[in-house]
Structure 1
Amino acid sequence: MKAIKILISGMIFCAMVISCNNSNENIQAENEKLIENYFKLFNEHKWKELSELYVENAEFKDPSFGNGIVKQSKAEFVKKYTELNQVFPDLKDKVIQVYPSGDKNIIVEFVSTGTAPDQSKFELPISTIFTIENGKITKDYTYYDNFEEAK
């Protein structure tokens, strides 16, 4: 009888472990789909729809904001990208690699390209760490070289 209880307990434990792994894999897959949709909306310049992928007042870390973390509303996000898009009308991001990291974080390596008003083109390698909770982006920590070339 004791052996049967141990066997049943072991089977329940294994089922729980497998279930947790499947749950984490499902969350990861959904997060990766969200990020795929993120870059699709970005490249279509659909800033309002893109902002809906975030929680209200998400945390941002971006060299354009200076050092530290800045909370931005969805409206502020839309305003920032609308203004950026006016300066660079052909702004596009090309994803190089996606690196899932646990069940909440996804790291994306991509190259942003566009043409400035003076017709000069740019190509900027960027990495972003997205934190996703309950299907929404809560943190967007972006890293790139923000230094201008010496002239």
Structure 2
Amino acid sequence: MQHSFLLYPAGLVLAGLLTACTPAGPADLETVQQQNIRVVRQLQAGLNQHDWAGVSQLYAERVRYKGPHTRYQEVEQTPGEVVAAYRGYHLEITQLYAAYEHHVVVEGRLSQGSPRPVCMIYTIENGRITRQYTY
């Protein structure tokens, strides 16, 4: 009795396995990165326009957050809790970097009066922010 895997040349089986394990190609990665950058730009615009409902919709149902408001301890919060920490602030982005498939790094200034430098790392999955680290 022959097993079906013996009917395929080893090269084809190996090629199929490698294809299944390969991450998205450069064109797909670039598309995802552009979508993630768009989410962060929407977040910046919403914060600066005080569109709290719009900003909340950019976050997932539960968000892993770490920043000055939690004394840099990672906590799980609702979108409303994350947004409440930024009410009244203005965010100016000076640099924006896509970091592979799910991350965007933002350098900028956050101000509520006098501006202070800030670095934010966002994890974006399925078009929603699932994690935000602010330094």
2:127 aligned with 1:135, yes or no?
A: yes
CA gap 1:79/1:129 in 2 versus in 1, 3 angstroms: closer
Question: Which runs of no fewer than 5 residues in structure 1 stay unpaired?
Answer: 1-5, 86-90, 116-121, 144-151
2:40 aligned with 1:35, yes or no?
A: yes
Shift of 1:78: 4.2
CA contact 1:107–1:128 (8 Å) conserved in 2? yes
2:26 aligned with 1:21, yes or no?
A: yes
CA gap 1:126/1:78 in 2 versus in 1, 3 angstroms: closer
In structure 1, distance between residues paired with 2:95 and 2:68: 21
Identity of aligned residues (%): 28
With the length of structure 2 as denominator, give the TM-score of the two structures: 0.77
With the length of structure 1 as denominator, give the TM-score of the two structures: 0.69
Matched length:
117
1:49-107 Cα distance to aligned partner (Å, 9 max, x none)? 1011000110100022113211111232344444xx2xxxxx31111000111110000
> SS of the counterpart of 1:96?
strand
CA contact 1:48–1:78 (8 Å) conserved in 2? no
Where does residue 114 of structure 1 map in the other structure? 112
2:70 aligned with 1:65, yes or no?
A: yes
In structure 1, distance between residues paired with 2:104 and 2:123: 7
> SS of the counterpart of 1:94?
strand
In structure 1, distance between residues paired with 2:134 and 2:83: 17
Question: Which runs of no fewer than 5 residues in structure 2 stay unpaired?
Answer: 1-10
